[in-house]
Structure 1
Amino acid sequence: MPRVHGLELEDLQACPAWLRDEATEILVRGLNLAGWPRAIARLWLPWLQQLNFPRVIDCCSGSSGPIGGILQEHPIRVTVTDRYPNLQAWQELQGRFPGWVDYEPASVDARCLPPDLRGVWSFFNSFHHLTPADARKVLAEAVFRRQPVAIFEALQRRWPRLLSVFLMPILSLSSILWARPFRWRRLHPLVPFLLTFDGCMSCFRVYTEDELREMTREVDPEGTFDWRIGSFRLGWMPFDCPYLLGSPRFASPLPEA
């Protein structure tokens, strides 16, 4: 499939917050059921432990993505951030893991992270939201600031994966039955529409492993980072998803802020 940087409705400032939050929460529940957080943890946690950095800065967190599932595997200090903060979801996550999770209540644009947010930068199912120019800018900034970066997608730019997105309305309807607390707004037809439309657009946006490798060569021509790029299985589902792990050579732990 060719890469097309189409429009995702949730990226628009005009998208109602309740609709964006509802859709992302349903998506996260579905990915949790598929075992996505555990699949990430198997790859990510050993790498984090080798780096021994004190904190993770999660970018484009949405409703917190796989963070809760990963923390169930192993405790790590995480600060969640987003351009459109979902404070209710983050406060619930903080309550589940006191002392391990904090959040930035103000809007944070992953394309220009504040210098005080120091730690391992993570992008869970969100790096594809960046244009190629912005994606290179983020990776170049990570190299310049010597910040480790981790990217894990939940989609793949292939036709079979695109077809699977059309199961989103089923996921949306089933969430009405098992998600608690119950909210009437889940019955709104815009919820499954947003999930399906943005899911299709995301499939066209996801970067392939080769595209990620090309970016790292462009932003790190001198090889000052160790780059690990590959794919991992989406839990029990028969889909492979791209990932990237990058860390400065001879990395040492960052001091506490």
Structure 2
Amino acid sequence: MKRIALGLVMAAMLVAPFQTDARPRGRGMFPPGAGTANPSGLVAEEIAFARMAREKGQWTAFREFADDTAIMFVPQEVQAKDWLKKQENPPAPVQWQPYQVWMSCDGTLGVTKGAWQRPDGSVGWYTTIWKRQKKGEYRWVLDHGDTLKSALPEPDMLTAKVAQCGHRPNAPGQATPPADARTFTGGNSMDGTLRWNVTVLGSNDARSVRVELWDGTQFVPIVEDKVTPAG
């Protein structure tokens, strides 16, 4: 059975980080930062996040790596830092591994998606959206996921994709929220080549997360998560 251990992922990053079809071009045409996406740096941040969860506690790590605006689901949406500061760490943390990475051309916004495992044997998937901070580090702005009956298939290697830098969209734009949405929020990278939104319905806390990547001519959906909490 294939297993992507965190140590092996880090080693792979140092040798041949990813399979990627990113093709930055024409850097002189864009503002500072264009074409500077670094998926390896984002994966290293997530590895540090998981390591802190093991060494210092699950909720401690979630709090330390959260952006001030971060939201999460418990299962209702909450402001992450407000909720996390009231939580005690469980005896053993959840473990997780990133399988896919996407990033804006300028590297100001990134997305990781992968698998998690709890000590009780339950398994699931997660999607995390990351925002680059002023000093260059990444902090998550949205974290969510759900359980699965069986573990996600493990890929042969972690893959990454970067938004096309050839022609930037004139305006990022966002979807129109449905009439019964209780929460509709999202964001864009600074260069507008990666955008996301989350919709939570008022009737049953069902949520959907959509992420789109600029391919040079249009936005292409890369994540379309739908979760309906049990009960």
TM-score, scaled to structure 2: 0.27
Q: Would you tell me which structure has more strand in proportion to its own residues?
A: 2
Question: Which protein has greater RCO, CA pairs closer than 8 Å, 6+ apart?
Answer: 1
